Amino acid sequence: MFFILRFVRGIFGAIFGILMLQVLVAVLTLVMNFESGATDVGKVFALLLIQAVVMVTSGVIFLWLRKVINNLYEKKFGVPHPALAEKKWNL
């Protein structure tokens, strides 16, 4: 069960990381091509807003699953999960 939870946590972490890079690239592209007038700023901001909401949601789920895994592991074995107790970003 811990493997499945950690796997799901890894998926949400990957989604968070990919979207963070994608939003950064989109913002840099928008800033660099702002004067050309070829981009529709409203559409770009709408997509950035959707990506930001998904990114924040996946980040919250990623951090929440750490607490869930630690609590379940602590109930079963009496100590926090060894890989997740020290660093918040471990998978």
Domain positions in the chain: 2-86
Q: Provide long-range contacts, Cβ within 8 A and 24+ apart, for 29-38.
A: none
pTM above 0.95, yes or no: no
CB-facing half-sphere around the CA of 18: CA atoms within 13 A: 8
Q: Contact at 8 Å (CB) between 90 and 11?
A: no
Instruction: Please write the tens of the pLDDT for every residue from 4-19.
Output: 998 999 999 999 999 9
Instruction: Please write the tens of the pLDDT for every residue from 14-64.
Output: 999 999 999 888 888 878 876 766 667 788 788 889 999 999 999 999 989
Q: What is the DSSP letter of 67?
A: H
Q: Which H or E element spans position 24?
A: helix 2-32
Question: What whole-number distance in Å separates Cα of residue 75 and Cα of residue 68?
Answer: 11
